[in-house]
């Protein structure tokens, strides 16, 4: 019998509808888990227990007074979640894990958290991340390092490391992350969670502290792809407050999960994604996953795709340029913290981005990077004429040891190499667990066409129905 905090969204909703338990009990269970393990895991930077319990109580009142029909109007009613600390939350400190924004309490709510609130979700607190999302290990947080729940010597990945750790430590039912290039898929893979990075523009960026505006994509990290699809449907859609959000109709990703015939799906396996240096354990697990997809009826075809290594340079220049611009507002005049509070990683990024946008260098760097980006987009478009989606490893290796990333200045970009091409092309991607290597989770990713979240979710769900990798959980007692 699972503890309440171990439930998935779908299981928890069932219990709430049946009144097997209350939202208060569910929320309490999450806080008990947090109180028990977060001293070690350090997933949260802020907890809002009183507020959460009040929200849960309100949810219970609604369930009691309206009955199960209320869930049609409020599809996440009473479900506790953890929120990455770069989402602006009205009245709750929002720092993006940076000293620069320490003490900043936003007067407004991000569109995503507002939608979750409207859907009845209960926010437990804000999760740790690389400061301003600058990193792939959550070690650049200005506050503390989050550990990987599978091994306290390992990093959870990043930048949404706190969110992935919180989910896999069962401290919440689901969490929100955000990806610029790998920040949802990466930590999902390294912690064994299911991460759904939507198409750029599918989910509003309004109120999410900007990292690289042209690729930032908010999305869910959950225990199953079923849960992630369920949340994605709720947070997706055109937002009048985000000019880059898309008016493309939002499909019911959750209802359509079973609506697929795998024998009609052609999955491309890009040779270039397997030619880079992959850890043997990762290669083995991903190959096994591909075999599984074949078994399930999907057609797997080897294909040519531009080497992901070209994306490293393009992504680095575009992202640093946008970072240097987006962080200019933290000029030390407002928010109460002067610029000496910027961490080392942020300073490096601001300096490089300032350089690449400077007069005389713009054409050589930023402008050229944009041109290569167009080539990468074209390359994907060509590929999608042949296949429905693309499969590959999410990360080249399993989670690294704490401290290792600091030794390599381009660590993040190298670790995220397999997520960068699709991120700069704005494509949707999913990472789901496909087994353990050295007792650490391995993630396999599926990359789809723009706004093809529906098909992507259904194919990933078919895999999870046929396997139980997503049921693997870390032994938290071993962390102590």
Partner 1 sequence: MTKELELLGSYKLVLGLEVHVQLMTEQKMFCGCSADIWQAEPNTHVCPVCLGLPGALPVPNFEAIRKAQLFGLALNCTLNQNSRFDRKHYFYPDLPKGYQISQYKQPFCENGHLDLLSGNVADIERLHLEEDVAKSLHEGGKTLVDYNKSSIPLAEIVTAPTFKTLDDAVDYCKQLQNIARSLGISNADMEKGQMRLEANISLRTADMEARNELPKYKVEVKNINSFRFMEKAVLAEVVRQRELLEKGETPKQENRGYNEATGKTVLQRSKEEANDYRYFPEPDIPPMFFDEVYINELKSLLPELPQQMKDRLVRDFGLTKEVAHALVDLGGKDLAEKFEAIVKKGNEGRKVANTLLNKKETLEMTVDQVDEMLKKSSEVINDSAAISAAVEKAISANPKAVEDFKAGKQNAVQFLVGQVMRETQGKAAPDVTRGLIVAALEKKSAQQL
303 vs 330, beta carbon nearer partner 1:
330
Helix, strand, coil percent content, the chain, rounded in steps of 5: 45, 15, 40
CB of 345 to partner 1, least distance (A): 17
The rounded distance, in Å, linking the Cα atoms of 165 and 435 is 17
For the chain, the distance separating the N- and C-terminal CA atoms, rounded to the nearest angstrom, is 23
Inter-residue contact 185 to 456 (CB < 8 Å): no
Closest C-alpha among 119, 110, 146 to residue 34: 146
| Residue whose structure tokens are 């200045």 | 409
The rounded distance, in Å, linking the Cα atoms of 164 and 17 is 27
CB of 4 to partner 1, least distance (A): 32
- Of residues 96, 129, 225, 372, which one binds partner 1 by CB under 8 A? 96
136 vs 321, beta carbon nearer partner 1:
321
- Of residues 5, 22, 86, 341, which one binds partner 1 by CB under 8 A? 86
106 vs 313, beta carbon nearer partner 1:
106
| Lookup: tokens for 165 | 């750790």
Which part of the chain contacts partner 1 (CB under 8 A), choosing from 96-104, 117-125, 407-415, 416-424?
96-104
- Of residues 325, 437, 467, 472, which one binds partner 1 by CB under 8 A? 325
CB of 324 to partner 1, least distance (A): 8
The rounded distance, in Å, linking the Cα atoms of 142 and 166 is 19
- Please, which of residues 236-265 interact with partner 1 by CB under 8 A? 240-244
- Of residues 88, 97, 165, 445, which one binds partner 1 by CB under 8 A? 88
Say how many residues touch partner 1, by CB under 8 A.
Answer: 42
| Lookup: tokens for 475 | 């032994």
- Of residues 19, 271, 294, 329, which one binds partner 1 by CB under 8 A? 329
CB of 359 to partner 1, least distance (A): 5
240 vs 280, beta carbon nearer partner 1:
240
The rounded distance, in Å, linking the Cα atoms of 480 and 257 is 38
427 vs 458, beta carbon nearer partner 1:
427
The rounded distance, in Å, linking the Cα atoms of 323 and 307 is 25
| Residue whose structure tokens are 């220049």 | 317
| Lookup: tokens for 241 | 């407050």
Which part of the chain contacts partner 1 (CB under 8 A), choosing from 143-151, 225-233, 330-338, 403-411?
330-338
Which part of the chain contacts partner 1 (CB under 8 A), choosing from 15-23, 87-95, 259-267, 464-472?
87-95
Which part of the chain contacts partner 1 (CB under 8 A), choosing from 21-29, 145-153, 160-168, 324-332?
324-332
β pairing state of 122-127 and 299-303: unpaired
- Please, which of residues 170-229 interact with partner 1 by CB under 8 A? 205-210, 212-214
Q: Is 321 an interacting residue with respect to partner 1 (CB under 8 A)?
A: yes
* DSSP-derived secondary structure letter, 133: G
The rounded distance, in Å, linking the Cα atoms of 331 and 325 is 11
Query: Does residue 196 have a cis peptide bond before it, meaning omega lies within 30 degrees of 0?
Result: no
Contacts of 469 (CB under 8 A, 6+ apart): 192, 432, 433, 434, 435, 441
The rounded distance, in Å, linking the Cα atoms of 40 and 47 is 15
CB of 246 to partner 1, least distance (A): 10
DSSP secondary structure string for all residues of 460-477: HHHHHHH--GGG----GG
165 vs 204, beta carbon nearer partner 1:
204
Q: Strand runs (DSSP E) across 371-417, as ranges?
A: 389-393
CB of 335 to partner 1, least distance (A): 8
CB of 350 to partner 1, least distance (A): 11
- Of residues 227, 322, 416, 420, which one binds partner 1 by CB under 8 A? 322
Inter-residue contact 82 to 43 (CB < 8 Å): yes
375 vs 466, beta carbon nearer partner 1:
375
Cross-strand pairs, 155: none
- Please, which of residues 332-371 interact with partner 1 by CB under 8 A? 333-334, 354, 357-359, 362, 366
165 vs 346, beta carbon nearer partner 1:
346
238 vs 283, beta carbon nearer partner 1:
238
* H or E, element range at 195: strand 194-197
CB of 475 to partner 1, least distance (A): 37
Q: How many helices (H) and strands (E) does the chain have?
A: 16, 11
CB of 444 to partner 1, least distance (A): 31
The rounded distance, in Å, linking the Cα atoms of 327 and 86 is 13
Which positions are annotated as active-site residues? 84, 159, 183
Inter-residue contact 162 to 45 (CB < 8 Å): yes
- Please, which of residues 99-158 interact with partner 1 by CB under 8 A? 101, 104, 106-108, 110
Question: Phi then psi for 337, rounded to 5 degrees?
Answer: -125, 130
Which part of the chain contacts partner 1 (CB under 8 A), choosing from 64-72, 180-188, 329-337, 461-469?
329-337
Contacts with partner 1, residue ranges (CB under 8 A)? 86-88, 94, 96, 101, 104, 106-108, 110, 205-210, 212-214, 240-244, 321-322, 324-325, 327-331, 333-334, 354, 357-359, 362, 366
């Amino acid at each position: 019998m699972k503890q309440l905090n171990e439930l998935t969204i779908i299981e928890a909703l069932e219990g709430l509808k049946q009144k097997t338990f209350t939202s208060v009990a569910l929320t309490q269970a999450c806080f008990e888990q947090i109180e028990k393990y977060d001293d070690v895991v350090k997933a949260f930077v802020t907890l809002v227990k009183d507020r959460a319990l009040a929200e849960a109580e309100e949810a219970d009142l609604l369930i009691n007074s309206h009955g199960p029909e209320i869930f049609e109007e409020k599809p996440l009613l009473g479900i506790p979640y953890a929120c990455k600390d770069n989402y602006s939350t009205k009245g709750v400190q929002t720092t993006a894990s940076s000293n620069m924004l320490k003490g900043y309490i936003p007067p407004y709510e991000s569109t995503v958290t507002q939608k979750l609130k409207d859907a009845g979700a209960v926010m437990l607190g804000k999760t740790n991340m690389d400061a301003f999302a600058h990193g792939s290990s959550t070690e650049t947080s200005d506050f503390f390092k989050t550990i990987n729940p599978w091994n306290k010597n390992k990093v959870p990945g990043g930048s949404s490391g706190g969110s992935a750790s919180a989910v896999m430590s069962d401290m919440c039912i689901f969490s929100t992350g955000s990806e610029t290039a790998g920040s949802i898929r990466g930590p999902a893979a390294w912690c064994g969670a299911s991460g759904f990075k939507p198409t750029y523009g599918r989910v509003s960026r309004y109120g999410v502290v900007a990292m690289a505006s042209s690729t930032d994509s908010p999305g869910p990290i959950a225990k199953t792809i079923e849960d992630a699809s369920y949340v994605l449907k709720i947070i997706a859609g055109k937002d009048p407050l985000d000019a880059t959000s898309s008016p493309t109709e939002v499909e019911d990703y959750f209802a359509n999960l079973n609506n697929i015939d795998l024998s009609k799906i052609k999955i491309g396996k890009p040779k270039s994604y397997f030619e880079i240096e992959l850890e043997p354990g990762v290669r083995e697990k991903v190959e096994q996953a591909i075999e599984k997809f074949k078994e399930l009826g999907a057609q797997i075809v080897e294909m040519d795709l531009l080497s992901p290594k070209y994306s490293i340079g393009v992504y680095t220049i575009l992202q640093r340029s946008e970072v240097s611009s987006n962080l200019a507002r933290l000029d030390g005049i407002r928010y109460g913290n002067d610029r000496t509070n910027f961490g080392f990683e942020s300073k490096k990024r601001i300096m490089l981005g300032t350089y690449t946008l400077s007069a005389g260098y713009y054409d050589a760097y930023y402008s050229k990077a944009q041109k290569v980006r167009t080539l990468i987009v074209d390359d994907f478009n060509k590929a999608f004429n042949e296949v429905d989606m693309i499969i590959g490893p999410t990360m080249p290796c399993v989670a690294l040891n704490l401290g290792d990333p600091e030794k390599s200045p381009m660590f993040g970009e190298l670790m995220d190499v397999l997520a960068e091409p699709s991120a700069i092309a704005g494509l949707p991607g999913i990472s789901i667990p496909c087994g353990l290597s050295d007792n650490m989770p391995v993630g396999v990713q599926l990359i789809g066409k723009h706004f093809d979240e529906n098909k992507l979710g259904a194919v990933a769900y078919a895999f999870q129905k046929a396997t139980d990798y997503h049921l693997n959980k870390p032994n938290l007692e071993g962390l102590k």
